[in-house]
A and B are shown apart, each in its own frame.
Chain A
Amino acid sequence: QQKVQQSPESLSVPEGGMASLNCTSSDRNFQYFWWYRQHSGEGPKALMSIFSDGDKKEGRFTAHLNKASLHVSLHIRDSQPSDSALYFCAASEHRHNRIFFGDGTQLVVKP
């Protein structure tokens, strides 16, 4: 069973709009969560980490974690065409352990 589930599989938003991505884990041992972004032809790059319940904001990006429900979300406000990419939710039990990735959300921001 996939340990990290993401939704939606794909998302299209207009430039300047809000994009919301969701992620649910099935493993209560996960303590550390990340959002990664991958552009075509590149390796994934970490966007944000979130380790505590609540919201974490960095510029246009806000992550939310609810450990009780094992739910993580990412909200991108004022979306730009350059935000178009594959987004992955990732989780691990310990900070130096392997990361479990979700299947990804393909975000398209239309000018």
Chain B
Amino acid sequence: NSKVIQTPRYLVKGQGQKAKMRCIPEKGHPVVFWYQQNKNNEFKFLINFQNQEVLQQIDMTEKRFSAECPSNSPCSLEIQSSEAGDSALYLCASIQGPAEQFFGPGTRLTVL
């Protein structure tokens, strides 16, 4: 069973508010991914890290999204000014070696 920990499980914000979520990858997994899954179950890749360095990221429109994976601390994803369209399930996944990505349970963000 995956041991990727995501907090909080549910997050409710008003439009314009900051929304921050955290992820602790499986122990020993150096590569971490963030995905957004919308209400239609469509996945959108956001960013991935190897240790603390960004490997790939999408062009986060308006730069409202920021993410980091500091050493010895949880990884985090923050939306600076939440919009209704940001309401989604945010999934963190980690990987070690040539294997499948292990996903956490996600943070369900609702922007009112």
Contact = CB atoms under 8 A, between A and B. Distances in A.
Interface of A: 34, 36, 41-46, 49, 86, 88, 95-101, 103-104
Given A43-B91, A96-B50, A104 B41 contact: yes
Interface residues of B, number: 27
B56 A98 contact: yes
B87 interface: no
B45 A99 contact: yes
B75 interface: no
B88 interface: no
A46 B41 contact: no
Nearest to A48: B100
A53 to B, nearest CB: 18
Given A34-B100, A46-B100, A88-B43, 8 more contacts: A43-B93, A44-B91, A44-B103, A46-B101, A96-B95, A97-B56, A98-B33, A103-B40
22 contacts: A36-B100, A41-B105, A43-B2, A43-B4, A43-B91, A43-B93, A43-B103, A43-B105, A43-B106, A46-B101, A46-B102, A49-B100, A86-B41, A95-B98, A96-B50, A96-B55, A97-B56, A98-B56, A99-B33, A100-B45, A103-B40, A103-B42
Contacts of A36: 100
Contacts of B98: 95
A99 B34 CA distance: 11
Contacts of B45: 98-100
A95 B98 CA distance: 6
B68 to A, nearest CB: 18
Nearest to B56: A98
